[in-house]
């Protein structure tokens, strides 16, 4: 057999999962684990593909040394050990396996639920110590209890199915899905405070982002029942560990079970170790034979696809722009992503049911798949625990229950040669933003059918207000007193003394306390801060 490609497996992967790769024609597989960084640098120039788990650090130096590398595959979800930006610049596709351990993570969540409900770990240690005081381990049934899930992604959906089979009622909180999406899965969507107040067991299934860091903190724990218990098999840092330990020790809540931690391994002096009412496991969510076989097979098949010039199913960074359209489309793809990010921040926490993308002018002659993918990427940025890119964006939207509609209008607003309009709709809200590329730069040119053009970049402060004398001056005074410098101001309105939109560019973001002062001004409908 002629060998066209060489593949290096530098971490321990399931041999069963690697079978498709070993059987593929023209591909030679070398398994060389425990390589030092220097040994990896020396070896990598000979290989076309690199498969890793979490031990191998695929640094910029490794990528730059891999002159033949076409694909780096991570047998798992996270790609923190891979320099994705450097790989992208080098034209190397990075793929992962985001679905292979979904069932394993869901089952471990259920295992932790039982463990914390029936004191399994503590009772085991008790018996092994030669004791038999059964009264110390009175548990609770989970039947007829309420499970609250923070996040409605794939793992949460699998947990909900299993919990429902055990006789539990499931409530969900996820600002990025609709009530209909949740209801189809037997879950009633509620706000976070309601979820916290009603849940007997609370499980978190969200990525760790600036928005979700310490999402469950002291104020949230104060809302919970004293009989409630918390589970985290998602990401360390979503639950404030010190606050949780304190709440359990003081009886504010009944217990917890954690598989993930802010720092791993868990520090010897962690407050989580002080009480036996918290079950601790060492990040075992995806540690099943079946899951490891599946993630290895998932990346093996993708490596085969990439080496044979086919698209990878879970590409993290693969470009999808045809070379012939590249020059024209790139500015509008950038614009679409910025507009999506703008809408995500403008709309706040809502369940988006529909995204309408309309291209005006010559832009309507192009395949809008690239524009749509970029808009979704911006809209879902920091929302899902999978990196949204130009390859997987439409799939991510489908999984969030977002209906994506593309429209083309060759007639367009006369003042702009080409224009792009995004409209997002939820059960209660609708926001529209229009944009264009002016002299090669991305601009927002309209918000909710009001014309107001400004650069789609930097820190922005937006207000919707009744057009009255002095409002602009009062806003400027408050910002000036806070030493926030205004770089530009644009105002659009329906007519004199009617509703108006004002956009201020600022050199620094507007802090929450200043936003509160501005919101209190008369005739202000709403205020939003956006960073692009």
Helices (H), 351-506: 369-379, 393-399, 471-481
Examine the fold and report which residue of 404, 419, 451 is the final residue of a domain before the chain moves on: 451
Examine the fold and report which residue of 419, 451, 483 is the final residue of a domain before the chain moves on: 451
Distance CA 169, CA 69 (A): 49
Instruction: Please report where in the chains the tokens 């992208």 appear, as a residue.
Output: 88
Give CA separation, 416 vs 334, 364, 407, in Å.
Answer: 18, 13, 18
Same domain, 240 and 266: yes
Same domain, 207 and 142: yes
CA angle 146, 246, 243 (to 5 degrees): 75
Q: Could you report the per-residue pLDDT of 10-24, keeping only the tens digit for each?
A: 999 999 999 999 999
Q: Could you report the per-residue pLDDT of 63-112, keeping only the tens digit for each?
A: 999 999 999 999 988 788 999 988 877 878 899 998 999 999 999 999 99
pLDDT for residue 8: 98
Same domain, 162 and 21: no
pLDDT for residue 327: 76
Domain for residue 471, yes or no? yes
DSSP 12: -
Q: Could you report the per-residue pLDDT of 429-461, keeping only the tens digit for each?
A: 889 999 999 999 999 999 987 889 999 999 999
Domain for residue 336, yes or no? yes
Distance CA 255, CA 442 (A): 51
283 is catalytic: yes
pLDDT for residue 90: 81
Answer yes or no: are the C-beta atoms of 74 and 95 closer than 8 Å.
Answer: yes
User: 162: buried, middle or exposed (CB in 10 Å: 19+, 13-18, 0-12)?
Assistant: middle
Say whether pLDDT at 493 is over 70: yes
The b-or-e profile of 169-198 (16+ CB within 10 A means b, else e) is bbbbbbbbbbbebbeebebebbebeebbeb
Q: What is the CATH number of the domain that holds 264?
A: 3.40.50.720
**Least confident piece of the model among 93-97, 215-219, 313-317, 477-481:** 313-317
Instruction: Please report where in the chains the tokens 């995500």 appear, as a residue.
Output: 344
Three-state secondary-structure class, residue 230 = strand
Same domain, 152 and 64: no
Same domain, 303 and 154: no
Same domain, 124 and 268: yes
Nearest to 56 by CA among 97, 12, 11: 11
What pLDDT band is residue 347 in, cutting at 50, 70 and 90? confident
> Which residue among the candidates 264, 429, 481, 494 is catalytic per the annotation?
264
Can you give the length of the chain in residues?
A: 532
- Return the higher-pLDDT residue of 90 and 232: 232
Same domain, 10 and 26: yes
Say whether pLDDT at 322 is over 70: no
What pLDDT band is residue 412 in, cutting at 50, 70 and 90? low
Both structure tokens of 523: 């005739």
Distance CA 340, CA 358 (A): 13
What pLDDT band is residue 6 in, cutting at 50, 70 and 90? very high
Q: 527 is in which domain, residue-wise?
A: 458-532
How are beta strands 229-232 and 201-204 bridged, if at all? parallel
> Which residue among the candidates 235, 400, 412, 465 is catalytic per the annotation?
235
pLDDT for residue 325: 73
CB hemisphere CA count around 73 (13 angstroms)? 33
235 is catalytic: yes
- Cis before 369? omega within 30: no
Three-state secondary-structure class, residue 267 = coil
Same domain, 266 and 160: yes
Q: What is the CATH number of the domain that holds 359?
A: 3.30.1330.90
Same domain, 412 and 487: no
> Which residue among the candidates 283, 459, 490, 493 is catalytic per the annotation?
283
pLDDT for residue 340: 95
Domain for residue 526, yes or no? yes
Other Cβ atoms less than 10 A from the Cβ of 120: the count is 17
Distance CA 348, CA 326 (A): 33
Same domain, 248 and 170: yes
Same domain, 140 and 36: no
Domain for residue 316, yes or no? no
What pLDDT band is residue 390 in, cutting at 50, 70 and 90? low
Say whether pLDDT at 145 is over 70: yes
Handedness of CA 403, 408, 411, 413 (dihedral sign): positive
pLDDT for residue 318: 67
Give CA separation, 2 vs 5, 24, 26, 27, 489, in Å.
Answer: 9, 11, 6, 8, 65
Domain for residue 315, yes or no? no
Say how many domains are in the chain: 4
Same domain, 26 and 68: yes
């Amino acid at each position: 057999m002629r060998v066209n490609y060489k593949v290096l497996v530098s971490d321990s992967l399931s041999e069963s999962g690697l079978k498709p790769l070993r059987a593929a024609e023209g591909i030679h597989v070398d398994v060389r684990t425990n390589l030092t960084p220097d040994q990896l640098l020396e070896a990598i120039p000979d290989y076309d593909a690199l498969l890793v788990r979490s031990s191998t650090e695929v640094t910029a130096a490794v990528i730059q040394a891999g002159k033949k590398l076409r694909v780096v595959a991570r047998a798992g979800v996270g790609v923190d050990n891979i320099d994705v930006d450097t790989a992208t610049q080098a034209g190397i596709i990075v793929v992962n396996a985001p679905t292979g351990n979904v069932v394993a993570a869901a089952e471990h969540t259920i295992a932790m639920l039982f463990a914390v409900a029936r004191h399994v770990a503590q009772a085991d240690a008790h018996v092994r110590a030669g004791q038999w005081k059964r009264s110390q381990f009175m548990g609770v049934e989970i039947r007829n209890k309420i499970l609250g899930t923070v996040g409605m992604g794939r793992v949460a959906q699998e947990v909900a199915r299993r919990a429902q089979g055990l006789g539990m009622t499931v409530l969900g909180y996820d600002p990025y899905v609709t009530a209909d999406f949740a209801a189809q899965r037997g879950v009633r969507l509620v706000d976070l405070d309601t979820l916290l107040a009603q849940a007997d067991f609370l499980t978190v299934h969200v990525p760790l982002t600036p928005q979700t860091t310490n999402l469950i903190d002291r104020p949230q724990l104060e809302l919970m029942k004293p009989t409630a218990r918390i589970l985290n098999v998602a990401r360390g840092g979503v639950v404030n560990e010190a606050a949780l330990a304190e709440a359990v020790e003081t009886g504010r809540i009944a217990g917890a079970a954690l598989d993930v931690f802010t720092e791993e391994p868990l520090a010897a002096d962690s407050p989580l170790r002080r009480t036996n009412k918290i079950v601790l496991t060492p990040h075992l969510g995806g540690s099943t034979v079946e899951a490891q076989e599946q993630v290895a097979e998932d990346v093996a098949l993708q490596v085969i696809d990439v080496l044979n010039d086919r698209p990878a199913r879970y590409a993290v960074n693969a470009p999808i722009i045809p070379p012939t359209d590249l020059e024209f489309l790139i500015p509008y793809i950038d614009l679409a992503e910025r507009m999506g990010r703008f809408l995500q921040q403008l709309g706040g926490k809502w369940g988006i049911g529909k995204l309408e993308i309309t291209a005006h002018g010559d832009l309507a002659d192009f395949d809008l798949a690239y524009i749509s993918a970029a808009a979704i990427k911006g809209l879902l940025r920091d929302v899902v625990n999978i990196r949204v890119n130009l390859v997987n964006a439409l799939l991510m939207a489908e999984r969030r229950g977002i209906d994506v509609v593309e429209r083309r209008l060759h007639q367009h607003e006369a003042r702009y040669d080409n224009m792009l309009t995004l409209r997002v709709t939820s059960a209660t809200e609708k926001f529209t933003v229009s944009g264009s590329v002016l002299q090669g730069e991305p601009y927002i040119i309209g918000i909710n059918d009001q014309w107001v053009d400004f650069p789609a970049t930097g820190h922005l402060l937006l207000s919707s207000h009744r057009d009255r004398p002095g409002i602009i001056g009062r806003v400027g005074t408050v910002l000036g007193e806070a030493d926030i410098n205004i770089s530009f101001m644009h105002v659009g309105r329906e007519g004199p003394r009617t509703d108006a939109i004002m956009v201020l560019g600022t050199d620094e973001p507007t802090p929450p306390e200043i936003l509160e002062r501005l919101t209190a001004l008369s005739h202000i409908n709403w205020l939003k801060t956006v960073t692009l």
